[in-house]
Amino acid sequence: MEYVLSTENLTKQYKDFKALDHLTMHVEKGAIYGFVGRNGAGKTTLIRLICGLQSPTSGEYSIYGKKYTSGDILQMRRRMGAVVENPSIYLDMTAEENIREQYAILGRPTYEGITELLELVGLSGTGRKKAKNFSLGMGQRLGIAIALAGDPDFLVLDEPVNGLDPQGIVEMRELILKLNREYRITVLISSHILDELSRLATHYGFIDQGRIVKEITAGDLESACRKCMHLTVSDMRSLIRVMDEKKIEYAVTSDQEADVYGDWNVTELIQSLAEQGCIVYKVTEKDESLESYYINLIGGGSHA
């Protein structure tokens, strides 16, 4: 397995506050990795560390297999593009002028590719309009264009849809998917808009109090969050007996409750349970979302 980013017991201490606490995570090449956690869980701290804006207190991280202490780490970071917190934009410049400035910072010898880059992020028609007059969504897309100026194959986005209107969110989603699928760019996204993240991510890392609580693929998460019927009954032993006889998949959740999976006839099942002297008090459809999965995993509370 090739990892674009991996961390091992990564720790960042600020006096009495431990922002990252022996964090271990793995971002697979080609993934859209959804990085999920509460405010203050350590998401932005991790992003600052891997971008070289801060140094860890202990532990280590590697980018494309090169440890952050390696002499090659700057070369590896040149393969990264990042939008950390707010996009770094010169407000009195146009979109094209902003990208030209980034080209100069990177030492690119010509301005070749700027027209295509503006078209890619949907800003080709902005002309002489200055960035200070852009909408929030346009500003976010310009930030991504600047992050792409160095032709990275790893893109780090910190809350890219935060504050956007529904149209802006759709445009951002389509851009991220295009970058991943057509340009083969691995993307790490920190986001608290979990419903939107579920439309994008191929992998997830759930962080709480500076630690990775769980890493999971979108496929495994979908299996964990699949639809089922939630039954409340009078006699759990009878329910188990009937489920086993009918070879229906189920999971007991309490003394009187169980989740029942697959395709089955509700009327037939209730009749079979009645024959066993088991009363069905309630049948409800259950479809766990990414948000409810996360809250159950972390233990409730704010999940921004």
Residues 266, 153 share a domain: no
Q: Is residue 250 part of a domain?
A: yes
Rounded to 10 degrees, the C-alpha dihedral 247/248/251/256 comes to -100
**Rounded Cα gap, residues 166 and 210, in angstroms:** 31
Task: Specify the amino acid at residue 138.
Answer: M
**Rounded Cα gap, residues 141 and 92, in angstroms:** 17
Range of the domain at 85: 3-223
Residue with tokens 């390696």: 70
pTM: 0.82
Residues 247, 140 share a domain: no
The number of folded domains in the chain is 2
Environment class of residue 203 by beta-carbon count within 10 Å: exposed (0-12), middle (13-18) or buried (19+)? buried
Residues 240, 91 share a domain: no
pLDDT tens for each residue of the chain, 304 residues long? 899 999 999 999 999 999 999 999 999 999 999 999 988 899 999 999 999 999 999 999 999 999 999 999 999 999 999 998 778 899 999 999 999 999 999 999 999 999 999 999 999 989 999 999 999 999 999 999 999 999 999 999 999 998 899 999 999 999 999 999 999 999 999 988 888 899 999 999 999 999 999 999 999 988 777 778 899 999 999 999 999 999 998 989 899 999 898 888 989 999 999 999 999 999 998 776 788 888 888 875 444 4
Residue 225, both tokens: 């969050």
**CATH number, residue 255:** 3.30.70.100
Query: Which CA distances in Å does 218 have to 199, 203, 222?
Result: 10, 5, 6
Residues 244, 154 share a domain: no
Q: Is residue 300 part of a domain?
A: no
Q: Is residue 269 part of a domain?
A: yes
